[in-house]
Amino acid sequence: MEYVKKTAEEVTKHALAVINKIDEEEVSKMINTIIDSYSVFIVGTGRSELVGKMFAMRLMHLGFTVYVVGDVITPAIGNRDCLIAISGSGENRSVTIAAETAKEVNATVIGITGNPESNLRKNSDLTINIKTKTKIPWKYYTSNVLKGDYDDLTPMGTLFESTLSIFLDGLITEFMVRLGKKETDLKKRHAIIE
């Protein structure tokens, strides 16, 4: 249990420091874009996709029309929709292609990445920068947020994905407050056939 506790402590402390550095204006734009969109599409790969699916579920519980790119029931994206594209490196090919495709039909692209110089950022209308360790080279980290050796406690993209998960769960609470929703409202849309 020693390493379970140590990792949990480091991840949560680190996530809070990173979230405190996210541009609040970009977050406000993200919230407004989602509220104003006809449908919300979410794309990611690997663990980022799994976190994206968790966010998609909660958006659905809030009453949004939301789809995960790659599901067989996902329709075409249009100019009244938004795409939330998640990639720690910002260079994942399938995610960047999805962003480019969404831009071609004038959908709004919200990029979530840890790489401020990425192709994803270049193809996004707004970007949420999760400035933490991902699988990309360390040269992108110029802040003092990262100190110490996290490699063995949080290998590969763990810090990005854990921070992303905490950030998106916090965002759901922001939506609940803005929309006047309570947990009981979300429970009404929870699956009853599982």
Catalytic, out of 161, 174, 183, 194: 161
Residue 161 appears among annotated catalytic residues: yes
Could you tell me the CA-to-CA distances from 73 to 83, 145, 192 in Å, in that order? 16, 40, 20
Q: Do strands 82-87 and 126-129 pair parallel, antiparallel, or not at all (unpaired)?
A: unpaired
Determine the Cα angle at 170 with ends 81 and 14, to 5°.
120
What is the H or E stretch that residue 170 is in? Answer: helix 158-179
d(CA 192, CA 170): 25
Active-site residue set:
161
